[in-house]
Structure 1
Amino acid sequence: MKEIKNIKCFLLDMDGTIYLDNHLIDGALDFLQNLELNQKQYIFLTNNSSENKKAYQEKLANLGLIIDEDQVFTSGEATSWYIKNLKKDAKVFLLGTPFLEEEFNKAGFTLVKSRDDKPDFFVLGFDTTLTYEKILVACDFIREGVPFIATHPDLTCPLSNGQSMPDAGAMISMFEAATGKRPQIIGKPNVFNIEVITKKYGLQKDEIAMVGDRLYTDIKMGVDAGITTFLVLTGETTLQMYEDSTIQADYVLGSVKDLGKLIVNY
């Protein structure tokens, strides 16, 4: 087991870890207060690209969590970092919400709106505004050889009623079936996120831990990056799923409430 006392910064998944839909998970507020009392830094690291940093800041404030905008790092932001490393002034055909469009506009990209204007990249986000026309245009660009990038691979997004809605991973499967092409995925489990976070926030990998509810994104990224991992069972993953998986976390806990108790004991 890795020592919790050496961790300076906790990377926190959001959906299924801190909240479900628009409701805080029991003990989440106490957990964050414990982090602050023990002088631990925390950054919300989410694969959900349907909202940007400011929108998440406002959403968390409505749930009673007051944070700085810079404490949120989304797969949308990670994707903009990735593309900027390739071409700073890129033209992008983006399937995403107005929040994600705002993120890309701020990054300095030109958003392509017509099939007659060939982009440098096609980016697929969690697009809750998806239309069939957008799908057709995107398939045309993929077949023409435009690099295909996806913000994250999550198949579903959990809801507070126990149900879930299709997420970007399901859309990836649709495009792959239609074109035979699979995208470069930027969000978790890609360790690119850890590389950017260590650079942006001035951290070392051995000072970071990942806390999340998904084995194939949150925990796999942590394992691949060599950082401490905490799996919580308040979202997608059940204990049976964990026991059947080859992806293993350093710690398995019922919720972040239990993690808060561990930190206090240290």
Structure 2
Amino acid sequence: MNQLENIRLFLLDMDGTFYLGDRVLDGSRPFVEKIDSLPDCQLAFLTNNSSKNRRDYVAKLSRMGFSFADHQVITSGEAAAIYLKRQKPGARIFLLGTESLEQEFLDAGFVLTDENPDYAVLGFDLNLTYERLRRLCDFVRSGVPYIATHPDFNCPIENGGFIPDTGAMIAFVEASTGKRPLVIGKPNRYIIDSAAEKFHLPHDRIAMVGDRLYTDIAVGANSGITSILVLSGETSLKDLEDSDIQPDYIFQDLGELAEQL
């Protein structure tokens, strides 16, 4: 039996897989239509970007002409909240992150605090201050469990170029404290564990579809799910020749994947 026939949830990377900037990639609409026609299949978007919450992404997809529900988007921020809710519901959290990420944690029932936290959480934060970073280092040194939403060093911006991302802040804290966090986002399995819990599915019924070997495809190997590489974004066939990370399937784009379902 074709392994793809067993998949009940396709987790899609966004930029380079479903769209590029503000342009919907060829094959994305046929893929959505195909999934809609399969009664036992569903799709969700999975992103390491913790600066926005689910509603932000649903709004962007709506502007592109797609109608998705909030639950069909999973960010590393939501995955971190799911992970921590499993550890200690209603925990006190010292959080570095955007207002959207703060709202994600408040919606999950956590208490955000600057004093005596149960956990210290580092996410993407455009309003970071030295004082907040200093407090994070103090908490980490004192042994407060330390979580980061994702490991990306840089975040691409729409007009080209990059800005420092959460991974750069992880390096800052490590240089000061000698400690590294538990990282939730791709390529680590915790984000897939959170998705499996959210959709009530075993890992062998989930596939990750993306264009980056070191995040999208690596998370497949690290979590025991099917990995599907699309060549519509960052990775080319030549990149695969020298890579230790190999996908289970390769397609030109989501449209070609849809034809195989």
Q: TM-score, normalised on structure 2?
A: 0.89
Partner of 1:112: 113
Aligned mates of 2:255, 2:153 — CA distance in 1: 26
Asked if residue 199 in structure 1 is aligned to residue 197 in structure 2, the reply is yes
Instruction: Give how far 1:178 is off.
Output: 2.5
Matches within 5 A, 1:1-266: 3-39=3-39, 40-113=41-114, 117-159=115-157, 163-263=161-261
Instruction: Give how far 1:162 is off.
Output: 5.5
What do residues 122-164 of structure 1 show as CA deviations (whole Å, max 9, x unaligned)? 1111222223332222222222222211011122334455644
Pick closer, same or farther for the CA change 1:167–1:26 going to 2, 3 Å: farther
Pick closer, same or farther for the CA change 1:61–1:121 going to 2, 3 Å: same
CA contact (8 A) 2:48 2:150 kept: yes
CA contact (8 A) 1:23 1:160 kept: no
Pick closer, same or farther for the CA change 1:44–1:232 going to 2, 3 Å: same
Pick closer, same or farther for the CA change 1:175–1:168 going to 2, 3 Å: same
Moved more, 159-168 or 147-156: 159-168
Aligned mates of 1:163, 1:232 — CA distance in 2: 23
SS at match of 2:197: helix
CA contact (8 A) 1:234 1:255 kept: yes
Instruction: Give how far 1:24 is off.
Output: 2.5
Aligned mates of 2:175, 2:19 — CA distance in 1: 33
Gaps of 5+ in 2: none
CA contact (8 A) 1:20 1:158 kept: no
Aligned mates of 2:126, 2:242 — CA distance in 1: 32
Aligned mates of 2:173, 2:231 — CA distance in 1: 31
CA contact (8 A) 1:21 1:158 kept: no
What do residues 40-99 of structure 1 show as CA deviations (whole Å, max 9, x unaligned)? 310111111111112221121112111111111221111112212222221111111100
What percent identity do the matched residue pairs reach?
52
Moved more, 252-261 or 89-98: 252-261
What do residues 215-257 of structure 1 show as CA deviations (whole Å, max 9, x unaligned)? 2222122112222111123444344433222111012233323
Give the RMSD, CA atoms, in angstroms.
2.2
Instruction: Give how far 1:106 is off.
Output: 1.1
Pick closer, same or farther for the CA change 1:163–1:20 going to 2, 3 Å: farther
SS at match of 2:260: helix
CA contact (8 A) 1:48 1:126 kept: yes
Pick closer, same or farther for the CA change 1:174–1:256 going to 2, 3 Å: farther
Aligned mates of 1:162, 1:246 — CA distance in 2: 29
CA contact (8 A) 1:154 1:217 kept: no
Aligned mates of 2:258, 2:128 — CA distance in 1: 39
Gaps of 5+ in 1: none
Q: TM-score, normalised on structure 1?
A: 0.88
Aligned mates of 2:170, 2:20 — CA distance in 1: 23
What do residues 178-206 of structure 1 show as CA deviations (whole Å, max 9, x unaligned)? 22111101122222333333333232322
Aligned mates of 1:159, 1:24 — CA distance in 2: 17
CA contact (8 A) 2:150 2:186 kept: yes
Q: Which residue identity lines up with residue 92 of structure 1 in the other structure?
A: I
CA contact (8 A) 2:208 2:226 kept: yes
CA contact (8 A) 1:27 1:257 kept: yes
CA contact (8 A) 2:80 2:191 kept: no
Pick closer, same or farther for the CA change 1:35–1:213 going to 2, 3 Å: same
CA contact (8 A) 2:170 2:180 kept: yes
